[in-house]
Structure 1
Amino acid sequence: MLTVQEATVPSTPPTSSAEDCSIVTRGLTKRFRGGQVAVDGLDLAVPRGAVFGFLGPNGSGKTTTIRMLLGLAAPSSGSWELLGVSMPRGLPAVLSRVGALVEGPSFYPYLSGEANLRRYDAADPAADPRTATARIGLALDRVGLTAAARKRYRAYSLGMRQRLAIAAALLGPRELLVLDEPTNGLDPQGTREVRALVKEIADEGTTVFVSSHLLAEIEQMCSHVAVMRAGRLVAQGPIAELRAGETVRIRVETPDTAEAAAVLAALGLRGVRSGDGEAGAELGEEAPERVCAALVAGGVAVRGLAVQRPSLEDVFVGLTGEGFDVDG
């Protein structure tokens, strides 16, 4: 269900039941000294098995929210549940089922990737030392770092470092994986590696909660999204529902703009426009191939034809009246 909130009114909790969600928050709020409100009345519902994008500009409250969810910061008010268990009382029982990467990876540069994971594993009181070797090997394999296991961390690329951090979060079976800006600072290749890894983890049944300030990354990676702006929730729901009802247009490159516009109008398309070597209209329910055939039959010289669907950026500009970073 798509939920859109106004920035000036309290949000309404989504109707998803806690049993169907990996994360639920109700009125979660964090105030700092001096009256600054970092997170204001947050109502989230993260469905089990989703890749959930937590989207917003830097400083919008994303990391503060994650720190509260994981028990690293105490909320000023509100409540939350992880994997169906009320927090914070249930944290000791639940955290072993949750993997997290918060505020970037931190490893010893002079140790190998494998040795760093051994230190992480040894610091976990719930980890069984008898199975450490097998679990570390499995985690490295899942992130594609088996061949680089003995290489020192300082020789890792940025993409490899992020993958090692995710491996550290996957040293045990996880039902929920929380990633705070996992592609931050990565080159295109590293970004693709992390994006592919997130999809693989989700395909195995793990809920993945990904925070980011980059629309393009959320759009390519996630099935659901929530948008933060200045500490408040603006909208949340499946990305497909966020796009529902948005206008899809067809654009025709042609020297015969007047003739093309006439054909588009004859097909009953709305919003017909022409000029500067192209004509266009709202596509509606019409099939693009039928439009192309009608243009050719009408003697229009078609140099190019494109269907223009709204990007996630277009959707959120419409919802909030403001834009987000697209590429960083």
Structure 2
Amino acid sequence: MTAVAQEAGAPFGAAPPSGEHAIVTRGLTKRFRGGQVAVDALDLTVPRGSVYGFLGPNGSGKTTTIRMMLGLIAPTEGEYSLLGLPLPRALPRVGAVVEGPAFYPYLSGEANLMRFDAADPTSVRATARKRIADALDRVGLSAAAGKRYRNYSLGMRQRLAIAGALLGPRELLILDEPTNGLDPQGTREVRALVKDIAAGGTTVFVSSHLLAEVEQMCTHAAIMRTGRLVAEGTIASLNGGLATRVRVETPDVADAARVLGTLGLADVRSGGADVTAELGGHAPERINAALVGAGVAVRGLAVLRPSLEDVFVGLTGEGFDVDG
């Protein structure tokens, strides 16, 4: 891959090196012909050692951003660095799987990786077999190394693609929709693999439209909407932007609402057979005791913690395409 350049002639990928960040973008923008803006002045800061979820509905600009980062397409404006380095200097230290794996169906997993490695001008041929064996072992495919690719499950195919991205030492791994199209078992396999890779010290940047997966897998996240960044931070800080609520299921809705108000809970709301309120610093067990003590029939009491989908809806007023 070659370094990308601005239309005016100044180099991209020229953000100042940083030992703390695996990815930095500043004002990264991509306009296509006809004036369509796919990515609009994107500022990202991905800490080293994080599992970073890059979230957004389909069509929000995630894959376009990744393709710019890897030098596959040229940005229109802005600058960026990977591992504190401009392209192409950073690329030998970066592994990536973009837009799904593509391998020869009649070759084994091991043979596919041999061909993949041979196409890399920076790889050392003398160590190819050991590196491939290590990569297959790392993704849990050693036992299936001689099995033809066409007989791999979807989860195994995705793990083989990740193995291809790990044939050399990688400080950063970029995965574009790694669980897309997988069944629950394949999704669990990839999720566990991502966590294992991150535990070894590699920063993992995961693009996804599946909010629940990102919440289980990632330490940090950014949320995109129509090419723009709407939120970025740790998972805890993003979820913490919305209040935790308590929900009481009861036939005595009016009495329950009155008790919650007396206890000092804010934003008490009634609907159907439920009453909800902001939990604040109140202990759920004390709320339950107060309700029962006041003669309220409590059928159920639950603490509702905000999700990333709640954050997205709160920021944009729109639903999130969680099913793709």
Do these two structures clear the TM 0.5 threshold for a shared fold by scoring above it? yes
Paired residue for 1:122?
118
Which residue among 217, 222, 225 is the counterpart of 2:218?
Answer: 222
SS at match of 1:44: strand
How far residue 150 of structure 1 moved from its aligned partner, in angstroms, is: 0.9
How far residue 163 of structure 1 moved from its aligned partner, in angstroms, is: 0.7
How far residue 207 of structure 1 moved from its aligned partner, in angstroms, is: 0.7
How far residue 37 of structure 1 moved from its aligned partner, in angstroms, is: 2.3
Deviation by residue 1:61-89 (Cα, 9 ceiling, x = unmatched): 2111111111111222221111011x23x
Query: How far apart, CA to CA, are the structure 2 residues paired with 1:34 and 1:299?
Result: 66
AA matched with 1:289: E
Deviation by residue 1:170-222 (Cα, 9 ceiling, x = unmatched): 11111000001111111111111111111111111111111112222222222
Contact 1:215 1:327 in 2 (8 A): no
SS at match of 1:164: helix
Query: How far apart, CA to CA, are the structure 2 residues paired with 1:254 and 1:36?
Result: 51
AA matched with 1:232: R
1:39 aligns with 2:39: yes
Query: How far apart, CA to CA, are the structure 2 residues paired with 1:207 and 1:74?
Result: 24
SS at match of 2:101: coil
SS at match of 2:73: coil
Which residue among 190, 199, 203 is the counterpart of 2:199?
Answer: 203
Structure 1 unaligned spans of 5+ = 1-15
Query: How far apart, CA to CA, are the structure 1 residues paired with 2:225 and 2:265?
Result: 36
Query: How far apart, CA to CA, are the structure 2 residues paired with 1:101 and 1:26?
Result: 23
Contact 1:214 1:324 in 2 (8 A): no
Paired residue for 1:7?
none
Aligned-pair identity in percent equals 74
Provide the aligned C-alpha RMSD in A: 1.8
Contact 2:51 2:206 in 1 (8 A): yes
Contact 2:17 2:84 in 1 (8 A): no
AA matched with 2:75: P
Query: How far apart, CA to CA, are the structure 2 residues paired with 1:69 and 1:308?
Result: 37
Query: How far apart, CA to CA, are the structure 2 residues paired with 1:248 and 1:291?
Result: 14
AA matched with 1:31: R
Structure 2 unaligned spans of 5+ = 1-15
Paired residue for 1:296?
292
Gap change, CA 1:170 and 1:296, over 3 Å in 2: same
Paired residue for 2:254?
258
Query: How far apart, CA to CA, are the structure 1 residues paired with 2:207 and 2:271?
Result: 42
Contact 1:178 1:208 in 2 (8 A): yes
- TM (norm. structure 2) is 0.90
Name the count of aligned residue pairs. Answer: 309
Gap change, CA 1:274 and 1:94, over 3 Å in 2: closer
Query: How far apart, CA to CA, are the structure 2 residues paired with 1:305 and 1:272?
Result: 14
How far residue 34 of structure 1 moved from its aligned partner, in angstroms, is: 2.7
